[in-house]
């Protein structure tokens, strides 16, 4: 474990600044009524995301408490695992403490060794790369394709070496990766595919749900995800051997032969029954959340369509995008201000936004590992992209307001 933070030198910061912004702009979120736009429909800040807890959450949590099962055994864990696996079209679900450890646990079942390689997209949240690193293996990066902002499959074959063990497609912002060619390539080379589906609950590829497209998948149920347990995660898989190993490793690798007898270095990555109670109530509402997000995305796209310099997200013909986050790209020349200036304008109007991910090859902690590697599409996404409020509970009136602010500030 590195105890010193990985700081970039001034020269390295200078180098980095040539291809991604050196720092996030200071965006101070304030809300006041602005005469030209009237009141924001919410009359307060519109958050970039928030959970929707309108179903059986309270009832199930109360029941878990009343039954005295609040730890990591209990019926809600099993029910949530079964129900979520069903939603993904697979047989097994392994509930975990969060999405990061779901990805780590899935990779741990592969028995990765130092020097092994796992191919991931550079444009992702850092947990994807860290899960590989925790196993002592090496993340190998590919760029994104510019249309749907997903892993560029054309770059995959060139990255496969005799040390490659797995490929991790990440369904970025809720849009599924084109899985058929990816699976064909993986099969040709005998590689395992672990979907990072942290952001893609309910998304579909050619009618099949994410989480059931690779050999295994990891989901996150963090508070900003489409369904949430506060903190939480799940592995989904059709592979019984993998599932049994993951359940065992999740729980300190307790042996069935004898108590306190361990044959593997396991983990405590368990979810609590209380979290699973919330999860079960959330998964019951998944179809409604997905429908709301797809409707909201359409509302945004219709209203932002045709604004010079604003690129809205595209949906591939094979995809049912669930728009975990509704992201846009800003072309400074055409729009008349850059991404950061537009974020400040929105913040002045009480609209919270978030910049796109910073690619893995630009991260201080991975800088030396990927020294000299460049991934131009990911860098452009990082420079120009940000996402707008995207919660399932967002209203059409709020979208109208946000789109009006963006439209009226184009110069």
Ligand X SMILES: Cc1ncc(COP(=O)(O)O)c(C=O)c1O
HEC string of 330-385 equals ECHHHHCCCHHHHHHHHHHCCECCEECCCCHHHCHHHCCCCCCCCCHHHHHHHHHE
Residue 228 touching ligand X (CB under 6 A): no
Shortest Å, Cβ 127 to ligand X = 4
Give the number of residues in contact with ligand X, rule: CB under 6 A. 15
Residues 331-350 that bind ligand X (CB under 6 A): none
**Judged by CB under 6 A, does residue 127 bind ligand X?**
yes
The yes or no reply on residue 299 touching ligand X (CB under 6 A) is no
The residue length of the chain stands at: 411
Contact status: 170 vs ligand X (CB under 6 A): yes
Residues of this chain, 36-95, that bind ligand X according to CB under 6 A: none
In the bound state with ligand X, the residue whose beta carbon lies nearer, of 222 and 267, is 222
User: Among 52, 150, 220, 272, which residue interacts with ligand X (rule: CB under 6 A)?
Assistant: 220
The answer to whether 124 contacts ligand X (rule: CB under 6 A) is: yes
Residue 98 C-beta: closest distance to ligand X, Å? 4
To ligand X, the closest distance from the beta carbon of 351 in angstroms equals 21
Cβ atoms within 10 Å, residue 273:
27
Q: 269: closest CA among 94, 75, 137?
A: 94
Q: Taking the complex as a whole, how short is the minimal distance between the CB of residue 190 and ligand X, in angstroms?
A: 25
Question: Out of 52, 128, 228, 355, which residue is the one contacting ligand X (CB under 6 A)?
Answer: 128
Q: CB within 8 A of 282, min separation 6: which ones?
A: 53, 55, 57, 221, 227, 228, 229
Q: Give the one residue of 93, 99, 174, 211 binding ligand X; rule: CB under 6 A.
A: 99
Q: Does 195 bind ligand X (CB under 6 A)?
A: no
Distance, CA of 66 to CA of 229 (rounded, Å): 19
Q: Which of 40, 52, 72, 98 binds ligand X (CB under 6 A)?
A: 98
Which part of the chain contacts ligand X (CB under 6 A), choosing from 35-43, 194-202, 259-267, 277-285? Answer: 194-202
Run of H or E including 289: helix 286-304
Site for ligand X in 361-380 (CB under 6 A): none
Least spacing, CB of residue 218 vs ligand X, in Å: 7
| Near ligand X by CB under 6 A: residue from 61, 118, 125, 304 | 125
Q: Phi and psi at residue 198, in whole multiples of 5°?
A: -50, -30
Stretch that binds ligand X, among 74-82, 105-113, 191-199, 239-247 (CB under 6 A): 191-199
CA distance 287 to 198: 17
Which listed range, 66-74, 106-114, 121-129, 313-321, lies at the site for ligand X (CB under 6 A)?
A: 121-129
Per DSSP, what are the bridge partners of residue 46?
A: 351
Yes or no: say if 168 and 194 are a contact pair by the CB < 8 Å rule.
Answer: yes
Nearest distance in Å: CB 356, ligand X: 12
Residue 188: strand, helix, or coil: helix
CB of 66 to ligand X, least distance (A): 28
Return d(Cα 232, Cα 201) in angstroms, integer.
13
Beta strands in 101-215 (DSSP E): 117-121, 138-142, 164-167, 192-196, 204-205, 208-209
Binding of ligand X by 210 (CB under 6 A): no
Nearer to ligand X, 40 or 220 (CB): 220
Name, in order, each residue with C-beta under 8 angstroms of 362's C-beta and a sequence gap of 6 or more: 16, 19, 20, 379, 382
Q: List, edge to edge, every strand of the sheet that includes 385-388.
A: 310-311, 326-330, 385-388, 354-355
User: Shortest Cβ distance from residue 271 to ligand X (Å)?
Assistant: 11
Q: What does the alpha-carbon distance between residue 260 and residue 124 come to, in Å, rounded to a whole number?
A: 38
Q: Which residue, 105 or 245, has its beta carbon nearer to ligand X? A: 105
Among 116, 199, 299, 398, which residue interacts with ligand X (rule: CB under 6 A)?
Answer: 199
- Report the residue from 74, 93, 214, 233 that binds ligand X according to the rule CB under 6 A: 233
The residues of the shown chain that bind ligand X, judged by CB under 6 A, are 98-100, 103, 124-125, 127-128, 170, 196, 198-199, 220, 222, 233
């Amino acid at each position: 474990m590195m105890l010193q933070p990985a700081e970039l030198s001034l020269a390295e910061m200078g180098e980095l600044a040539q291809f991604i912004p050196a720092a996030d702009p200071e965006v101070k979120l304030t809300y006041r009524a602005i005469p030209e736009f009237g009141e924001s429909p919410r009359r307060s800040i519109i958050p970039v995301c928030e959970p929707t807890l309108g179903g059986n959450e309270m009832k199930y949590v109360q029941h878990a408490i009343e039954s005295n099962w609040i730890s990591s055994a209990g019926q809600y864990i099993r029910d949530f695992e079964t129900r979520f696996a069903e939603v993904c079209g697979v047989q097994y679900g392994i509930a975990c403490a969060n999405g990061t450890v779901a990805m780590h646990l899935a990779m741990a079942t592969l028995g990765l060794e130092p020097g092994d390689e796992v191919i991931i997209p550079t444009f992702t949240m850092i947990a994807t790369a860290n899960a590989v690193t925790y196993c002592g293996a090496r993340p190998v990066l590919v760029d994104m394709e510019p249309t749907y902002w997903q892993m560029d499959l054309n770059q995959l074959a060139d990255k496969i070496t005799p040390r490659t063990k797995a490929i991790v497609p990440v369904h970025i912002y809720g849009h599924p990766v084109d899985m058929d060619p990816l699976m064909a390539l993986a099969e040709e080379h005998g590689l395992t595919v672990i979907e990072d589906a942290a952001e893609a609950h309910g998304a579909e590829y050619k009618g099949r749900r994410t989480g059931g497209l690779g050999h295994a998948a990891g989901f996150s149920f963090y508070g900003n995800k489409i369904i949430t347990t506060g903190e939480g995660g799940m592995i989904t898989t059709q592979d019984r051997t993998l599932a049994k190993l993951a359940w065992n490793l999740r729980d300190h690798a307790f042996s069935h032969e004898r108590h306190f007898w361990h044959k593997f270095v396991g983990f405590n990555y368990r979810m609590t029954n209380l979290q699973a109670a919330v999860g079960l109530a959330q998964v019951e509402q998944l179809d409604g959340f997905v429908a709301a997000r797809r409707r909201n995305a359409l509302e945004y796209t219709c209203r932002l369509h045709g604004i010079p310099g604003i690129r809205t997200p595209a949906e591939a013909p094979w995809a049912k995008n669930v728009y975990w986050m509704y992201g846009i790209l800003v072309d400074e020349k055409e729009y008349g201000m850059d991404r950061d200036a537009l974020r400040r304008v929105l913040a002045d109007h009480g609209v919270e936004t978030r910049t796109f991910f910073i690619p893995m090859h630009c991260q201080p902690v991975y800088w030396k590992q990927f020294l000299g590697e460049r991934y131009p599409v990911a860098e452009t996404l990082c420079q120009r992209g940000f996402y707008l409020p995207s919660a399932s509970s967002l209203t059409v009136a709020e979208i109208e307001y946000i789109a009006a602010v963006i439209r009226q500030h184009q110069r």
